[in-house]
C-alpha cells in the first residue's frame, strides 16, 4: 500500500507536495503510538514534531513549493501512503519484541512482492528489459538494496530500541540532507528560509530524541502491553 499509493500519487502530484505530506509521518506515528503503544509523555514530543514540521515547510517554500490545485487527487493518494507507512511502523513495533529486524524485513519484502505480482498482468506494466538503460538498472539496484534491504532493516533496528515517535521524527531530516547533496552535486544555492528551516528541523528532532523513553532504555527492546497485539 505504501509503495503503490505513493507512486500513483506522485505521478499525479509534485515532488514538493510529496515531501511536505511525508513530513506529516512523525505526527501520524505519534498519534498512533499514543493510542496503541502507550508511549511516554505527549507534550514535549508534540512540540518537537511541530517545530520540525515548520522547518520542513520553510525549506520547501525556499525550494519553490508548488501550489497547483490540480494535484489534490495525487496528494490524497500520497496521504494514504503516509498513513499506511505509519501503520506499518506501529505494527512492526510489537512484532520486533518477537523477531529480529532482518527476519521481519525479509518477510515484509517477500509478502509485499507476492502481493505486487498481479500487477505483472497489466498490459505494458513491465517494459521490455532491453529498453532499460544502464542508469535505469542502477536506479533499480539502488532502490532494491539501498532503500529496501538496508534502509528498511536499519529502520526496524532503530524501532526495536527506541519509541516509534522518536524513530519517525528522523525522517524530517531528509529535506536537509537532500538539500546538502544538491549543493554538493549541483551547486544549488539557498535563501535565509532554508537555513532557518534547517535549524528548526535539527532542533525539533533533537528535542524529541532527548525526551525520556517511557518504554525502554536505549539499546533495550521495549516491552509491549498485550492489548497492542
pLDDT at residue 201 greater than cutoff 90: no
Q: What DSSP string runs through the chain?
A: -HHHHHHHHHHTS-HHHHHHHHTTHHHHHHHHHHHHT--S-SHHHHHHHHHHHHHHHHHHHHTT----GGGHHHHHHHHHHHHHHHHHHHHHHHHTTTS-HHHHHHHHHHHHHHHHGGGGGSTTSS--GGG--HHHHHHHHIIIIIIIIIHHHHHHHHHHHS-HHHHHHGGGGHHHHHHHHHHHHH-----HHHHHHHHHHHHHHHHHHTS--SS--TTSPPP--GGG-
CA dihedral defined by 66, 71, 72, 76, rounded to 10 degrees?
Answer: -100
Per-residue pLDDT, averaged over 21-35, amounts to: 85
pLDDT at residue 81 greater than cutoff 90: yes
Give 103-160 pLDDT, tens digit per residue. Answer: 999 998 899 889 888 888 888 878 888 889 999 999 999 988 998 889 999 999 999 9
Residue 141: the pLDDT is 94
Residue 123: the pLDDT is 85
The pLDDT > 90 percentage for the chain reads 23
Identify which of 88, 101, 103 has the alpha carbon closest to the alpha carbon of residue 157: 101
CA 59, CA 69: separation in Å to the nearest integer?
21
Per-residue pLDDT, averaged over 30-38, amounts to: 84
Residue 145: the pLDDT is 92
20 in Cβ contact with 65 (< 8 Å) = yes
pTM of the model: 0.74
For residue 220, name the pLDDT band (cuts at 50, 70, 90). very low
The domain limits of the chain are: 2-116+129-228
Residue 217: the pLDDT is 42
To which residue does cell 500513483 refer? 8
For residue 208, name the pLDDT band (cuts at 50, 70, 90). confident
Give 48-76 pLDDT, tens digit per residue. Answer: 888 888 888 887 777 666 555 667 788 88
Amino acid at each position: 500500500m505504501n509503495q503503490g499509493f505513493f507512486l500513483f500519487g506522485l505521478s499525479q502530484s509534485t515532488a514538493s507536495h510529496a515531501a511536505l505530506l511525508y513530513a506529516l509521518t512523525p505526527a501520524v506515528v505519534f498519534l498512533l503510538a499514543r493510542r496503541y503503544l502507550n508511549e511516554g509523555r505527549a507534550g514535549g514530543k508534540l512540540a518537537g514534531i511541530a517545530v520540525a514540521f515548520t522547518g520542513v515547510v520553510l525549506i520547501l517554500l525556499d525550494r519553490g513549493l508548488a501550489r497547483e490545485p490540480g494535484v489534490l487527487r495525487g496528494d490524497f493518494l500520497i496521504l494514504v501512503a503516509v498513513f499506511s507507512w505509519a501503520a506499518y511502523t506501529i505494527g512492526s513495533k510489537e512484532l520486533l519484541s518477537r523477531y529480529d529486524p532482518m527476519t521481519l524485513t525479509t518477510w515484509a519484502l517477500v509478502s509485499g512482492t507476492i502481493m505486487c505480482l498481479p500487477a505483472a498482468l497489466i498490459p505494458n506494466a513491465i517494459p521490455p528489459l532491453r529498453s532499460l538503460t544502464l542508469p535505469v538498472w542502477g536506479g533499480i539496484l539502488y532502490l532494491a538494496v539501498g532503500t529496501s534491504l538496508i534502509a528498511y532493516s536499519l529502520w526496524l533496528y532503530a524501532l526495536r530500541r527506541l519509541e516509534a515517535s522518536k524513530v519517525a521524527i528522523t525522517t524530517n531530516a531528509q529535506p536537509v540532507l537532500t538539500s546538502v547533496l544538491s549543493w554538493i552535486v549541483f551547486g544549488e544555492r539557498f535563501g535565509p528560509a532554508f537555513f532557518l528551516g534547517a535549524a528548526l528541523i535539527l532542533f525539533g528532532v533533537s528535542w524529541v530524541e532527548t525526551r525520556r523513553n517511557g518504554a525502554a532504555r536505549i539499546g533495550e527492546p521495549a516491552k509491549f502491553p498485550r492489548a497492542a497485539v
